[in-house]
Structure 1
């Protein structure tokens, strides 16, 4: 497994991977991993723009984003990214997003991506805390984050009504150097 920092040259391949992943969101009545309906679960221009603009910004600029990509025999099989909050006085915290290709889940790639991001963030940023939000019903993701010392900070029951189903939203946090 090769995990490395993404560059703008990686974005075309990343967007193909992300589009494929988003098509799986909530498909076949599975628990969604994004708060999007099945009809909305597609790569759109706004998503492309956030990644494209964020990856080229320095860590001192508003809207930066850093992403690590996991490759298995040159095939993109997972990603993890951090980005700053937009609110003032939150420079010590970042938001995390991640995903692993459906065909590769359960192989420890999520754990490798998390550990790699903890190391990268500790070495390259002044951030102290990583936060994330996930749909409460996504218990496999919840358990993964728990195993990596994320602590549940908040839960909002019935936050979303997606495709006629109710979903909660859970916030978890972890110190970068714990």
Structure 2
């Protein structure tokens, strides 16, 4: 397995992979890993966010960076970090990731997390935040194992395919977080 950053010229192929990956969302007994109906592919407007984010400099609104884990047979998983949309949050990044079903629980997710966390630390970011469907116990366990701490949960956040789903919020401090005034 090799992990590398994705070049902007590779985004079209990556978005095709992402669409195929999302078609497996919640199928064959696996939990939903995206808050979208089963069988729905990658929305085109999200592809534009990837393209625009890849072109934006770190610290600019909408920036995004993507890494892929590859083997000889292709992409095994991906991870992305992106700017938070709220003003005043340039010291934080949002994380998104996915691992192909065939290689889950084989260390791919942890290796992707390690690569993204190392990059974020080198860039001087102080926090990585994520949002995960609470029912996706394997993902929540992976994030906890890597040191993410649950900061909140919203019950009944989504209703997808007739199912009520909660959303868990988690964060990882990369550096000593600034002290809040008492």
TM-score range, shorter chain: over 0.9
* Contact preservation (8 Å) 2:59, 2:90: no
Give how far 1:52 is off. 1.0
Mapping for residues 27-46 of structure 1, pairs under 5 Å: 27-28=27-28, 30-39=30-39, 41-46=40-45
Give the total of aligned pairs.
176
- Cα deviation, 1:119-178, whole Å, max 9, x if unaligned, reads 11111x231000000000100000000000000000111111111111100000001247
Separation (CA, whole Å) in 1 of partners of 2:25 and 2:153: 21
Deviates more, 1:26-35 or 1:125-134: 26-35
Separation (CA, whole Å) in 2 of partners of 1:87 and 1:129: 14
- Cα deviation, 1:103-122, whole Å, max 9, x if unaligned, reads 21111000000011111111
Mapping for residues 20-169 of structure 1, pairs under 5 Å: 20-28=20-28, 30-39=30-39, 41-73=40-72, 75-123=74-122, 125-169=123-167
Other-structure match for 1:19:
19
Deviates more, 1:69-78 or 1:94-103: 69-78
| 3-state SS, counterpart of residue 27 of structure 1 | coil
TM-score (norm: length of structure 1): 0.93
| CA RMSD after TM alignment | 1.4
* Contact preservation (8 Å) 2:5, 2:66: yes
Runs of 4+ in 1 over 3 A off after TM superposition: none
Separation (CA, whole Å) in 2 of partners of 1:71 and 1:85: 27
Identify unmatched segments of 5+ residues in structure 2: 177-182
* Contact preservation (8 Å) 1:118, 1:177: no
Give how far 1:44 is off. 2.1
* Contact preservation (8 Å) 2:59, 2:83: no
Separation (CA, whole Å) in 2 of partners of 1:74 and 1:11: 18
- Cα deviation, 1:64-86, whole Å, max 9, x if unaligned, reads 10111111126111110011111
Separation (CA, whole Å) in 2 of partners of 1:151 and 1:63: 25
